[in-house]
Amino acid sequence: MIFRILGIEEEITGQSFALVRKTLHRLWLDWLKLNPLEDTVELRFEQLKTLFYKDLGFSSDWQSYYHSKNWLISDALSRRCGNGTSLAVLLHYFARKLDIECHALAFPAQTILAVKLTDRFIYFDAFAGEQKSLSQLEVIHRGHKGNLARLLSDNLEPISSSQVTERWLGELKSACLREDEFEKALRVSQVLLRLKPGDPHEMRDRGFIYQQLDCNSVAINDFEYFIEQCPDDPLSKILKVQIHSMDSQPAILH
């Protein structure tokens, strides 16, 4: 999972994938020299938490949770600090090194890992560094979706590496937009469209980014595609008005 994301991160930011991979491998080997693996998965899970939060010193960035630096795995690795997604991806890497089966869930509020022990799965929040009960997950879910929302079995289904990657990209794109990092947001958007070619909502978002970069002619093309594909979407009416107000003269791409 992590190497798929790091490959895309290199494309977006220019951060060397090979260098980050080498750093991760060195950290693992250095730790392994001093810490023989335990026999049971329960004890290895305790080793994982010690390795990650104590020996390597990873912590949660509560104050800047939504900043783009906290979505970037290479940045989180160098600072030993990140948000729920970046920490979960890094923790997953070391869990697999410790021969612990774990996977990300389709939990909408944040990235939660399901960790398989001998006879059961537990739910682990990498950001808080603690196990979560079903009732605690429901509270988090209701805080995200609204007080009437209920935690469903579908929310606890495992998701694939590609789904984790798409979720990560969507979150990174939102962070870049909040920070007015439109050129970086465009690179993220292009990757998303490569993974989901022709997706009308991604096309709409790319159109917005092009508009912020004063590339109105290509922005209009993306908006018109969205309107054609989603004519009943309330945003289509808004975009029709917006298109008329935009200067449709060709612009030079940045």
- Structural domain that includes position 209: 198-245
What are the tens digits of pLDDT across the range 86-126?
Answer: 999 999 999 999 999 999 999 987 899 999 999 999 999 99
From the CA atom positions of the chain, what is the Rg in Å? 21
pLDDT value at 227 more than 60? yes
Q: Is residue 175 a part of any domain in this protein?
A: no
Judge if 204 and 109 occupy the same domain: no
DSSP symbol at 15? -
pLDDT value at 199 more than 60? yes
Q: Is residue 172 a part of any domain in this protein?
A: no
pLDDT at 247: 61
Out of 138, 156, 174, a domain closes at: 156
Q: Answer yes or no: are the C-beta atoms of 155 and 105 closer than 8 Å.
A: yes
Q: Is residue 216 a part of any domain in this protein?
A: yes
pLDDT at 151: 87
Out of 92, 126, 156, a domain closes at: 156
pLDDT at 141: 87
Indicate the pLDDT class of residue 253, thresholds 50, 70 and 90: low
Judge if 147 and 223 occupy the same domain: no
Q: Is residue 181 a part of any domain in this protein?
A: no
Cβ neighbours of residue 118 closer than 8 Å, sequence gap 6 or more: 40, 41, 42
Q: Label residues 163-175 b or e (16+ Cβ within 10 Å = b).
A: ebbbbbbebbbbb
Judge if 235 and 128 occupy the same domain: no
Q: Is residue 96 a part of any domain in this protein?
A: yes
The encoded tokens of residue 48 equal: 């994982």
Please state the rounded mean pLDDT for residues 244-252: 65
Indicate the pLDDT class of residue 246, thresholds 50, 70 and 90: confident
pLDDT at 143: 86
Q: Is residue 23 a part of any domain in this protein?
A: yes
Please state the rounded mean pLDDT for residues 191-220: 96
Out of 156, 190, 223, a domain closes at: 156
Judge if 220 and 150 occupy the same domain: no
Q: Is residue 193 a part of any domain in this protein?
A: no
The enclosing domain of 145 has a CATH number of 3.10.620
pTM of the model: 0.92
Judge if 110 and 217 occupy the same domain: no
Please state the rounded mean pLDDT for residues 213-239: 95
Judge if 149 and 98 occupy the same domain: yes
Judge if 208 and 120 occupy the same domain: no
**DSSP codes joined into one string, 72-113:** -HHHHHHHTEE-HHHHHHHHHHHHHHTT--EEEB--SSS--E
Indicate the pLDDT class of residue 145, thresholds 50, 70 and 90: confident
Please state the rounded mean pLDDT for residues 176-190: 97
Indicate the pLDDT class of residue 148, thresholds 50, 70 and 90: confident
Judge if 238 and 145 occupy the same domain: no
pLDDT at 250: 54
Amino acid letter, 161? S
Judge if 11 and 85 occupy the same domain: yes
Judge if 211 and 128 occupy the same domain: no
Indicate the pLDDT class of residue 236, thresholds 50, 70 and 90: very high
Judge if 151 and 34 occupy the same domain: yes
Please state the rounded mean pLDDT for residues 38-64: 96
Instruction: Give the least confident one: 32-41, 186-195, 242-251.
Output: 242-251
pLDDT at 15: 87
Judge if 150 and 100 occupy the same domain: yes
Q: How far apart are CA 195 and CA 193, in angstroms?
A: 5
Q: How far apart are CA 178 and CA 223, in angstroms?
A: 20
Average pLDDT, the chain: 94
- The domain tally of the chain equals 2
Q: Is residue 140 a part of any domain in this protein?
A: yes
